[in-house]
Amino acid sequence: MRMRRWPENPAPACGGTEVHDHRLLATGHHLTLHLNRVVAYDTGLAVHLALTAADPARRARHQTRPLTDPQDLSARWSYLDVWLDVIDHLVVADPYRARPDVHAAAAGRCTYRTEPQYWIPTESDVAVRAITLTAEWREIGLEPTLATVALVRPVNPRRTPSRF
């Protein structure tokens, strides 16, 4: 049985309305996870996250390749796991443009930052009022975190407002 996934697709190149802005989702020893923004389009929602990790980033073995085989459970690959729930559909989300950035700093410390974007198609006629986001990356110390994000205004996928 295949697990449903939100696809690794980009949001539309233009348009959209910001329906939620910056929010701290999780913080831990040497790491933070932020929701940068949620943007609504006629065909779906774009969710932008940012994760920064210091020394624990070394423990994870990062690969910055596209996710070509979702069934690849190799211990050599790890990344931020994200599940997004819109209108009672909790689905694994594959990142688009993860933008990894690793910096070596003084005293041998390492900082890792990634800014993944997620695309959630909304084909239903039901207005979306909130999304539920679950994220974890145990390999670097991010335990599962759950957040419900209320949108500034309900998003009807057929009639996304162009301005507030």
Q: Rounded mean pLDDT of the chain?
A: 76
Closest by alpha carbon to 12, among 49, 50, 40, 37?
40
pLDDT digits (tens, 9 = 90+) for 2-55: 456 666 777 888 888 889 989 999 998 788 999 999 999 888 899 999 998 886
- Domains of the chain, CATH where assigned: 17-66+74-155 (2.60.40)
* CA distance readout (Å), 48 to 18, 75, 98, 116, 136: 11, 26, 10, 6, 16
Is residue 59's pLDDT more than 90? no
Asked if residue 80 lies in contact with residue 135, where contact means CB atoms within 8 angstroms, the answer is yes
